[in-house]
Amino acid sequence: MSKQKKMTLSKKQNLTGWVFLLPGALLIFIMSFVPMFRALLLSFKSGVGAKMAWSGISNYVRMFQDTVFVQSVKNTFFYLIIQVPVMLILALILASILNNKDLKFKGLFRTMIFLPCATSLVAYAIIFRSLFANNGLINLLLVNLGILDQPYAFLTHTTSARIVIIIALLWRWTGYNMVFYLSGLQNIEYSVYEAAKIDGASAVQSFFKITVPLLKPTILLTAIMSTNGTLQLFDESVNLTNGGPANTSITMSHYIYDMSFKYVPNFGYAAAMSFLILVLVAVLAFLQMKVGDKRD
Amino acid sequence: MYLFLIIVSFISVFPLYWMVSAATNKSAEVISGRLIPGTYFLENWKNLMAAQNVGRAFGNSFKYAIILTIVSLLVSSLAGYGFEIFHDKGKDILMSIILLAMMVPFVATMIPLFQMFSKAGWLNTTIGFILPTISTPFLIMMFRQSARSFPHDIMEAARIDGLSEIRIFFQMFIPTMRSTYAAAMTITFMNAWNSYLWPKVIMTDSLSQTMPMVVANLTEGYVTDYGMLMLAVLICTLPTAVVFFCLQNAFAEGITGAVK
């Protein structure tokens, strides 16, 4: 009798659980998985508006012949390969310095380094665009110091435009990742570091032998998040360099946006390109998790 | 070590200082490299108000961000709580499927969402802005993680006292998990305020434009009025800066919970 009552109680609780999570789960299916599936279907069609027709894999073939798209993939990977490792290493170094118990003004330094995260993406892109403009502060400084004879057009030369994007990204996101590492470091007993010091380990040694291995899950998390974010880079490309000069700093998301909403809309082709990003995100996340596991 | 920290801190803070000082100077003074705050703030303000409808854009952004934050926190925390407190095999499998949605880049869902929303008549509406990001795998995961530390015996006691499940959630879980909610609030509000790609897609009418869109509009054209532009950037940064300063510690605490 009492057992039966218990059964119904756990059934009731089970049902309550489903009611609690249903709205959230349903929204993710309708707003993420369903559109993703429709984008896949769309990527095999071409045409405009209601006159879409099946076109097989022609969109995917076109992608690899489209020089601007190939350029946008190269640019995005350029940002990814240079910016993400530099940022994560810098964030790790800053976090382990700030974790030092004897450091003075710790809170002040942490706040100042984290401060760039308080700016909106469009806002910081415009700040950097103004600083690096022909008549901007950086040029003024370089000319006055005698390093340059005349202002250099940072944003209209390919290499420097890309470097400015990387500098801006580093500025905006290093502090953000640092906070993740600082939080991770809270879980490491500080006495471990003190013991290592007594045993004669240098700061560099304890960084590589204690900090890096113990923070591995957090490093993996930030690496996946940053990779994901960089592959979807949009605001900076639009507002800092506007993809220029001549599309040599454009990102994949920026080109997909232009293809969908700026030029004559070509949803099928844009969907095919967006699917490539999805595959890239999935493959890179999978690889990072594999590498993360192996080091155990 | 201190030198390194001072240099990094200086680089972090300087562009923001420059923004504030530029907002109070004439464009020509900004170009000539003036770095101390000036007296041109009111002129910049007048010019800005004449150039773009900043008041409306600010109001729009604020409305969208507040509504999204409230709804999103409610839906995501309910889901995270449901997944953890009442967990069984079926729910755990569903959770890992939901986590896969984290890998879906927004550009891959943007076009079908735009088609769905324009068919439903949701362009230029609040619901159009908030619907895609009300429920996010990241927030659900964060609340699921924090629900793990919610004491079970207190819950049992409340059940014996006859408290309904929904009241346990609202009267016991929410007050206990304040720091998680604060962190989730910071993240959601900032993402909503900063979002640019999605509003650019669905806010086709200038009356529904958001603050970041208006700021980006100001850079079009040949001559840039730096004083006015930086004032707009400053206004666009203020709300996120306020949220950041109020909730900085809670944010770090909530992240610690999520990283564990």
> Predicted ipTM?
0.88
- Give the closest-approach CA distance of B44 to chain A in angstroms: 16
Domain-embedded: residue A36? no
pLDDT given for residue A37 in this prediction: 94
Q: Which of A31, A127, A175 sits opposite B132 (nearest CB)?
A: A31
Beta pairing class for A45-46 and A53-54: antiparallel
Tell me, yes or no, if B163 comes closer than 8 A to chain A by beta carbon.
Answer: no
Domain-embedded: residue A256? yes
Query: Please, are residues A249 and A78 in contact by the beta-carbon 8 Å criterion?
Result: no
Pairwise CB contact (< 8 Å): A24 & B19: no
Question: Reduced to 3 states, what is the DSSP secondary structure of residue B177?
Answer: coil
CA distance B138 to A125: 26
pLDDT given for residue A192 in this prediction: 86
Q: What is the pLDDT of residues A64-80, one digit of tens each?
A: 999 999 999 999 999 99
Q: What is the pLDDT of residues A42-68, one digit of tens each?
A: 999 887 766 788 888 899 999 999 999
For residue B162, the chain A residues in CB contact (below 8 A) are none
Indicate the average pLDDT of chain B. Answer: 89
For residue A111, the chain B residues in CB contact (below 8 A) are 248
The average pLDDT across B21-35 equals 84
For residue B213, the chain A residues in CB contact (below 8 A) are 122
Helix (H) or strand (E) holding A53: strand A53-54
Which residue blocks in chain A are alpha helix, DSSP H?
2-28, 34-42, 58-65, 67-98, 106-114, 121-131, 137-144, 158-186, 190-198, 203-206, 212-214, 216-231, 235-236, 252-257, 267-294
For residue A186, the chain B residues in CB contact (below 8 A) are 256
Q: What is the pLDDT of residues A86-96, one digit of tens each?
A: 999 999 999 99
Q: Answer yes or no: is pLDDT of A7 > 80.
A: no
Query: Would you tell me which residues 137-156 of chain A have a C-beta closer than 8 angstroms to some C-beta of chain B?
Result: 137, 140-141, 144
Domain-embedded: residue A81? yes
pLDDT given for residue A237 in this prediction: 92
- What is the chain A residue with the closest CA to B23? A127
Pairwise CB contact (< 8 Å): B104 & A19: no
pLDDT given for residue A296 in this prediction: 44
Q: Answer yes or no: is pLDDT of B178 > 90.
A: no
Q: Answer yes or no: is pLDDT of B110 > 60.
A: yes
pLDDT given for residue A258 in this prediction: 93
Question: How many other CB atoms are there within 10 angstroms of residue B154's CB atom?
Answer: 12
CA distance B111 to B105: 12
Query: Residue A84 has which token pair?
Result: 């993400």
Pairwise CB contact (< 8 Å): A94 & B81: no
Q: Answer yes or no: is pLDDT of A1 > 60.
A: no
Query: Would you tell me which residues 57-76 of chain B have a C-beta closer than 8 angstroms to some C-beta of chain A?
Result: 75-76
pLDDT given for residue A202 in this prediction: 86
Question: Reduced to 3 states, what is the DSSP secondary structure of residue B70?
Answer: helix
- What is the chain A residue with the closest CA to B140? A24
Pairwise CB contact (< 8 Å): B22 & A130: yes
Count of structural domains, chain A: 1
Tell me, yes or no, if B233 comes closer than 8 A to chain A by beta carbon.
Answer: yes
CATH assignment at residue A147? 1.10.3720.10
- B260 pLDDT band, cuts 50/70/90, is very low
Question: How many other CB atoms are there within 10 angstroms of residue A56's CB atom?
Answer: 10
CA distance A12 to B2: 60
pLDDT given for residue A79 in this prediction: 95
**Amino acid (1-letter code) at residue A175:** G
Query: Residue A193 has which token pair?
Result: 């570091």
* Cα A285 to the center of its chain, rounded Å: 12
Does the domain at B2-259 match CATH 1.20.1050.10? Answer given as: no
